[in-house]
Amino acid sequence: MAQFVPGPKTIPAVGNMPKLIQEYFGAVNTQSTQVSIARMNSPKGWREPGQTPEFDEYTLVEKGELQVETRDHTHFVRAGQAFLAPRGEWVRYSTPEAETAYVSVCIPAFTLETVHRDAR
């Protein structure tokens, strides 16, 4: 069934400083369990705990630079570039060098129960 989404819902973020998460499709805004699509804006110096999610996360950086740590490597994903974090693999996101805007697509949808964040 076709679905019009008049706008996103703001989702509380986790990390060392405020980050804006605007969910267009997902568990909160459209009650979708199949996919979540959200736009993120994070300030310079933001970082979140590592996670081992039960979903694939596709990320497209629109502005700035997203640092993505995996067990084996640290990736620097710049505007116009993308990154896939496969389900079941540990990953940690941060924006140490610049304010960053990016779009995240999670399949199945992101939930607090399936993200499996590291203990603080």
Give residue limits of the domains in the chain.
9-115
Task: Enter the tokens of residue 41.
Answer: 């804006």
Please state, in angstroms and rounded to a whole number, the distance separating the CA atoms of residues 22 and 29. Answer: 9
Looking at residues 46-71, what average pLDDT do you find? 98
Run of H or E residues at 115: helix 112-115
Amino acid at 39: R
Beta bridge partners of 51: 91, 117
C-alpha distances in Å from residue 34, one per residue of 51, 66, 74, 100, 105: 20, 25, 29, 26, 11
Beta bridge partners of 85: 57
Q: Find the length of the chain.
A: 120
Are the C-beta atoms of 55 and 112 separated by less than 8 Å? Answer: no
Is the pLDDT assigned to residue 120 strictly greater than 80?
Answer: no
Is the pLDDT assigned to residue 15 strictly greater than 80?
Answer: yes
Which position has the token pair 């960053």?
100
Looking at residues 99-104, what average pLDDT do you find? 98
pLDDT band at 1 (very low <50, low <70, confident <90, very high): confident
Record: fold of 9-115: Jelly Rolls (2.60.120)
| Cβ atoms within 10 Å, residue 13 | 15
